[in-house]
Structure 1
């Protein structure tokens, strides 16, 4: 698998998962809150904080026609333009947000949605980009973004395998092989039945790329489980408090929850470990409590070993149980008391 490098972190096999705190709309219109979110994400263990770069006018039309109404889900009853008015991160904040992230030592990047936003972020010297699930079929945009020759993390929610193939192909054909994919269920919030985490391994095998999870589900079960499925990136919406109402608050994690998720992810990575049959010191110590062959009745010198004077019991200081048939009928060279382990040195050849 071809790894990608973001600043000083490599994303790929044999590396810890790269964990992204998605701010999205959780600033709720306050630049001060946005700055606090960056600090809180750093303290919670995130590697990166992400924003989104669009305006209502760049992403949709100010129209009340039926096509621009949302009739189901978390944002039911909203008009697209008014929803994006509430959710967007003002562009004039983003330079200061990036500077704050750099000051405290957390990566910063963004999701642009059109060429104009890419140009803006290029002027900010953003190091890498996110492609949202909703943009994966926007081939002209992907071509433009790929030509900037910066790492791209692309969500695949709603996409067919053919659409993912088309998107990967256009990015590669435009000279950019610094790509990672995210499995994603583009529902807000997502439910476990729709997560299909097995796709993580299939995407990795199909495209030979780092794969992760863009997680809109509640809690951390999906994120931690995905680590065992091979995920190398976790993206999760992050807020200071779900009590601060905004379009994304209901499915975002608060700092303590995010911190616990990061700790669980790191513990899962340690538990997954590597293929290694050597024993740890603790395992070696525990081996003495295995079963082995012990003398259960006194045996006199030159007396035969029988099923009546030995038994397979704990602890493990005697011969291994696999030698049971070999020792039956053999004679001992000296007296052996009940409770002694049976060992080769006291058995006649």
Structure 2
């Protein structure tokens, strides 16, 4: 499998800046204008993508059942997909949708969708995954209701379909999900087992669990949002409202930036102001002159060499003229 790929212009890898998906889901209340507004909100929050769900009640459930009626009530009109994609392009945000059947995949392919998302409910629908894989676009698979065998089969199916660009999202199909059930350590497990970009589809309340996932190495974060949490519908009550989505995306970027690098050294500000001793010229030292205990001293801060090296440089020669009270650096020394 590939451990990095691009979605739009965004590199997705376990070392890259998190790819943030603002999940509109079914929270457009079957209104095209509300759907447009959700795209606007996601763009203004600086999310990387806004995502809807494209399913058909007729395909999923028998007519006349409770499940059919509830799903029918929140369907996205496939005729809107081109319009929503166009609006997203105008707002400089990527458009995505979870496809639940082959027709939905085709509809998304018609608009050149940047990547395909497989919902947790379809993670064991290997026929669908195989069809999606054949389109050769990146695939993001949520793993709610899955065990390791389910995930392995989904990965294998994608690979056999000739698609190596797969990412996995740690996820549970509870709404809302108690934070103590998030099991973010699974992110580490999925990275180790499959060597693919791994993220978190967050159904918890608030933003803390998603931030912890980023700190743990999540490369993709997905979060439901709504215009109004008090609206009627299955996904509004646990979703973020617009101001919260802004804070969410900003906080994710802050947390990612704070992770930094695996290198422990003094920061430039610490060198300038920190209470650490460095080596200084005790008097003017001429080029070619040897360093001795008589022309070196220890003072603060450690702008050049740390004081621990004062013995090591004695007997070496100055490569340049060094004025009194100037810090000594390796560039000044010739052994």
Equivalent residues in 2 for 1:308-347, closer than 5 Å: none
**Counterpart-to-counterpart distance in 1, 2:252 and 2:100:** 30
| Equivalent pair of 1:24/1:88 in contact (CA under 8 Å) | no
| Equivalent pair of 2:26/2:235 in contact (CA under 8 Å) | yes
Equivalent residue, structure 1, for 2:222: 235
Root mean square deviation, CA, Å: 2.2
Structure 1 runs, 4 residues or longer, greater than 3 Å off: none
Equivalent residue, structure 2, for 1:32: 33
| Equivalent pair of 2:272/2:301 in contact (CA under 8 Å) | no
3-state DSSP class of the match of 1:250?
coil
Equivalent residues in 2 for 1:28-177, closer than 5 Å: 28-64=29-65, 79-177=66-164
Equivalent residue, structure 1, for 2:259: 272
The unaligned stretches of length 5 or more in structure 2 are 279-299, 309-335
User: What is the aligned length?
Assistant: 286
- TM-score normalised to the size of structure 1? 0.77
Superposition deviation, residue 251 in structure 1: 1.1
| Equivalent pair of 1:86/1:246 in contact (CA under 8 Å) | no
Superposition deviation, residue 321 in structure 1: 11
Superposition deviation, residue 203 in structure 1: 0.2
Say which one has the larger Rg. 1
Equivalent residue, structure 2, for 1:68: none
3-state DSSP class of the match of 1:180?
strand
- TM-score normalised to the size of structure 2? 0.81
Superposition deviation, residue 281 in structure 1: 2.2
**Counterpart-to-counterpart distance in 2, 1:199 and 1:286:** 42
Of 204, 210, 213 in structure 1, the residue corresponding to residue 200 of structure 2 is: 213
**Counterpart-to-counterpart distance in 1, 2:227 and 2:138:** 28
| Equivalent pair of 1:18/1:232 in contact (CA under 8 Å) | yes
**Counterpart-to-counterpart distance in 2, 1:141 and 1:153:** 13
| Equivalent pair of 2:15/2:217 in contact (CA under 8 Å) | no
For the pair 1:8 / 2:13, whether they are aligned, the reply is no
| Equivalent pair of 1:20/1:50 in contact (CA under 8 Å) | yes
Superposition deviation, residue 63 in structure 1: 3.5
Deviation track 1:116-161 (CA, whole Å, cap 9, x = no partner) reads 2112222222221000111111111111111111110000111010
For the pair 1:251 / 2:252, whether they are aligned, the reply is no
Superposition deviation, residue 14 in structure 1: 3.3
**Counterpart-to-counterpart distance in 2, 1:265 and 1:124:** 29
Of 33-42 and 123-132, deviating more is 123-132
